[in-house]
Amino acid sequence: MPRQKLSMGGRISHQMKVAIEEIKLKHVQHKQGIEFPGSDFHASDHKQWMLSSNLSKAPLRQIMWPGTHDSATDGMGFLLLVRPLVQCQTCSVYQQLLKGTRVLDIRVDHTMHVCHGLIQGYSLHIVIQQVLKFLSETSMEFIILQFRTEYGHRDPPEIQKWLIQQLGDYLIAPGMSVFGKTLGELMPKRVICVWKPSSSFSAAVSPLWSSGFLRDNWIDTDLPATKFESNMEYLAAQVPVDSRYYFYRVENTVTPQADSLVFCVKPVTNQIRGFARLFISQAFRRGYGDRLQVFSCDFIDEDFVDACIGVTLARMENSK
C-alpha cells in the first residue's frame, strides 16, 4: 500500500522519534563505551595502509574493508538545489582511496554515467581513470569495486567487456579459494570487480564477480537506532568470516524519507554516522565481531577507516 502523506504535526512527531532514537544510541555509547579490539589504532599513512600495516600475509577474508555508499556522487546535481538531496560523498573516488577507502559502490545508468536515482553525474571513464591512478601510485593496496545498474535504469551495453579491458591485469578472477589466500599470494592482481545488473540476462562473466559475492541487507529508514539494530540482526545471521565464501557489507547509513522534515542526505545520515565505532564495539560485545567484514558509510573520514584497520590488525595479532 502507498505510504500516507503526513500532516505537519505528523512530520514533527516523526522527527521527534528520530531524535529520541539518536539519544538512545548516545546513551548506549556513554554507558558502554566504544572500545573494541584495535580501537586505539590510528594510521600514519592512509593511502597505503595495507602496505604500511604489513598485510601481505593476511588472508583476504580477514580484512575489515572500509567502504563508501554511493561512492561517485561528489559534485552531482545543482549546487544548492539537487546536490544536497543526492550527494553521499563530497570527496572524489581518488580522494576516497587516499583516505583509505577500499570498497567502492558505483551506480551507473545505460549511458555509462554514474547516477543516484534519476540524477546523472559524470562519465564512468572518470571513475576508472581515478582508480587506475591510485593503483599506479601504490603497490599493495587492494580494492573491491562494485558496479551496479541504478534502480529504474537499464544496463549499459558492453559494460562488462569495457571494465575487463580497462582494469585488465589488476583483476582477481572469482573463486572460492580466493577467500583463503593471503594478499601476497594474490598479488600482483589487486582488484575484485563485482557487477550487479538490473537484468538477469547481463549476469557477470569472469574475471568479474557476480553480485552474490557481495551481499548486504538494506532497510529504508531514517531512524538511526532502528537501522543500527537491523544491521546488527542481519550481521548476527551471517557465518563468521573464516567460514564465509562471500563478502558481507554493513552500511552505517540512514535514508532521507519523503514524510520527514529533513530531506538532505548529510543531516539525515549524520544521525547515525557518529555511531560507527559504537556499532563495531557492540558487535564484539554481542559476539558478532568475527562476522564484520565490509563496513560502509556516507561522507567517509579517516577515523572510520582507522576503526576498520584496527579490527584487521587485531585479527592478525590474534591469529599468530
Look at 125-134, 231-240, 258-267, 299-308 and tell me which has the smallest mean pLDDT. Answer: 258-267
**What is the per-residue pLDDT across 240-250, written as a single tens digit (0 to 9) for each?**
999 999 999 99
Q: In this model, does residue 229 exceed pLDDT 50?
A: yes
Q: In this model, does residue 3 exceed pLDDT 70?
A: no
* Radius of gyration from C-alpha coordinates of the chain: 19
Q: Who wins on pLDDT, 136 or 202?
A: 136
Look at 16-30, 190-204, 291-305 and tell me which has the smallest mean pLDDT. Answer: 190-204
* The predicted structure's pLDDT at residue 9: 80
End-to-end Cα, the chain, rounded Å: 54
CA distance 103 to 303: 16
Mean pLDDT over the full length of the chain: 95
Q: Return the domain boundaries, the chain.
A: 8-318
* The predicted structure's pLDDT at residue 4: 54
**What is the per-residue pLDDT across 53-99, written as a single tens digit (0 to 9) for each?**
999 999 999 999 999 999 999 999 887 789 999 999 999 999 999 99
Torsion of CA 192, 193, 196, 202, to 10 degrees: -120
* The predicted structure's pLDDT at residue 301: 98
Average pLDDT over every residue of 223-244: 98
- CATH 3.20.20.190 corresponds to the domain 8-318: yes
What percent of the chain shows pLDDT beyond 70?
98
Residue 5 DSSP class: P
Q: In this model, does residue 34 exceed pLDDT 90?
A: yes
**What is the per-residue pLDDT across 97-110, written as a single tens digit (0 to 9) for each?**
999 999 999 999 99
* The predicted structure's pLDDT at residue 79: 76
- Give φ, ψ of 93 to 5 degrees: -55, -45
Quickly count helices (H) and strands (E) in the chain.
11, 10
For 107-153, what is the HEC assignment?
Answer: EECCCCEEEECCEEEEEHHHHHHHHHHHHHHCCCCCEEEEEEECCCC
CA distance 157 to 109: 10
Q: In this model, does residue 2 exceed pLDDT 50?
A: no
Average pLDDT over every residue of 238-262: 95
Residue 208 DSSP class: S
Confidence of residue 11 (pLDDT cuts 50, 70, 90): confident
Confidence of residue 144 (pLDDT cuts 50, 70, 90): very high
Sign of CA dihedral 312, 315, 317, 320: negative
Q: In this model, does residue 272 exceed pLDDT 70?
A: yes
Q: What is the pTM assigned to this prediction? A: 0.95
